[in-house]
Amino acid sequence: MKYMIMTFGSAEAGVAAMGREWMLEMVKFMQQLDKDLKDSGELVDARGLADGSQAKTVRIKNGIPVATDGPFAESKESLVGYWIVDVESEARVIEIASRIVDYVKAPIEVRQVMDAPPDF
Which of residues 37 and 104 has its CB atom nearest to another protein in the complex? 37
Smallest distance, another protein to C-beta of residue 39, A: 6
Question: What DSSP designation does 20 have?
Answer: H
Question: What DSSP designation does 96 have?
Answer: H
**Binding positions for another protein, rule: CB under 8 A:** 1-2, 38-45, 86-88, 112-120
Say if residues 64 and 24 touch (Cβ distance below 8 Å).
no
Which of residues 42 and 100 has its CB atom nearest to another protein in the complex? 42
d(CA 52, CA 14): 13
Smallest distance, another protein to C-beta of residue 25, A: 26
Smallest distance, another protein to C-beta of residue 115, A: 6
Which of residues 63 and 118 has its CB atom nearest to another protein in the complex? 118
Crossing angle between the packed helical segments 20-39 and 11-18, to the nearest 10 degrees: 120
Which of residues 4 and 26 has its CB atom nearest to another protein in the complex? 4
Smallest distance, another protein to C-beta of residue 8, A: 22
Per-residue burial over 105-117, b if 16 or more Cβ lie within 10 Å, else e, is: eeebebeeeeeee
